Structure formats: C-alpha cells, structure tokens
C-alpha cells in the first residue's frame, strides 16, 4: 500500500466563497456555514481539474499510484493572521468538516488531518477544542 502523508483537501468552491464572506464582514453577520451536497464534494475531488497539475485530485492519486492520502487544510487558505480570531475559528471548523466529508465519501482513499484555528492573538489552549473535535468527532488521525 502506498500512503501519501501530505495532501490537501479539494473542496467545492462554496467553501472558499464562505471564506470570502467571512473576510468581507469580519463576522458581523454571524457564523453561517457551508452547505454543499455529497455530489458537489465528490465533484471537487473527482471531476474538477486542478490548475497545478491539469488533472483532478483523484486522477493525480491514481496516476501516482497512491492508495491512501492523508489530507489536511491548505495552509495558505487558513487565514492565520486575520482578525477577529472568531472568523479563523469558523473557517477552520468548516474546513475540518469538509475534510471529514471527503474521508466519508472516499473511505480507504483519504484519511483526515484536522486543522487548528491558530492566530498570533490566541493562546494555543484555545485551539484545543477544535483539535479534539476534529480528531474525535470527525475521525481525523491528528491535527496540524
């Protein structure tokens, strides 16, 4: 079995539209959330062609002979320097939810690595609840 321990989640565009909304209103309109169907999540992994490789996420795995990939958030998307910190927390939770959904929809192909809502303005102790939720509730192997 070939295991790639460093992959990143491929998510529907709605996850990133959610991020844009959070950045636009800085949380003043509330948390909201990402509502996508399983078909949209599947399409983000199987059908959508990634600009970096010119192939879908799944096609890339298949071509490389990867049986299982551990997926985590895309670091540059995680808004670690944004304020207020609650928008970082909310986006991290939604990203971890997406990782969990990808793992559920493609069992045996993906394993999760949950993100933590890290910012320079928050103490590491405040990241622990999401770390625990990401690992316990969503089945992630760990957190980063």
- Convert the pLDDT of each residue in 82-141 to its tens digit: 999 999 999 999 999 999 999 999 999 999 999 999 999 999 999 999 988 888 766 677
Query: Does residue 68 carry a pLDDT above 60?
Result: yes
Domain that holds residue 51: 3-143
Segment holding 13, helix H or strand E: helix 13-25
Residue 52, pLDDT score: 60
Residue 144, pLDDT score: 67
| CA 134 vs CA 41, 58, 66, 106: distances in Å | 18, 23, 24, 18
Residue 48, pLDDT score: 73
Residue 118, pLDDT score: 94
Q: How many CA atoms lie within 13 A of 60 on its CB side?
A: 19
Q: pLDDT for 23-61, tens place per residue?
A: 999 999 999 999 999 999 999 999 876 656 688 999 999
Compute how many other C-beta atoms are within 10 angstroms of the C-beta atom of residue 14. Answer: 18
Residue 103, pLDDT score: 95
Domain total of the chain: 1
CATH of the domain at 45: 3.20.20.140
Residue 123, pLDDT score: 94
Q: Give the DSSP per-residue string, 16-62.
A: HHHHHHHHHHTTTT--------HHHHHHHHHTPPPTTTSS-HHHHHH
């Amino acid at each position: 079995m070939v295991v790639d321990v460093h992959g990143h989640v491929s998510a529907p565009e709605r996850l990133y539209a959610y991020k844009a909304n959070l950045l636009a209103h800085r949380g003043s309109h509330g948390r909201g959330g990402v509502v996508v169907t399983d078909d949209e999540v599947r399409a983000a992994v199987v059908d959508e062609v990634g600009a970096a490789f010119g192939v879908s996420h799944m096609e890339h795995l298949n071509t490389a002979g990867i049986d299982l990939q551990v997926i985590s958030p895309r670091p540059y998307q995680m808004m670690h320097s944004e304020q207020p910190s609650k928008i970082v927390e909310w986006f991290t939770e939604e990203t971890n939810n997406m990782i969990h959904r990808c793992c559920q929809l493609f069992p045996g192909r993906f394993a999760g690595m949950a993100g933590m809502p890290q910012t320079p303005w928050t103490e590491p102790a405040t990241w622990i609840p999401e770390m625990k939720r990401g690992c316990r509730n969503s089945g992630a192997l760990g957190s980063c």
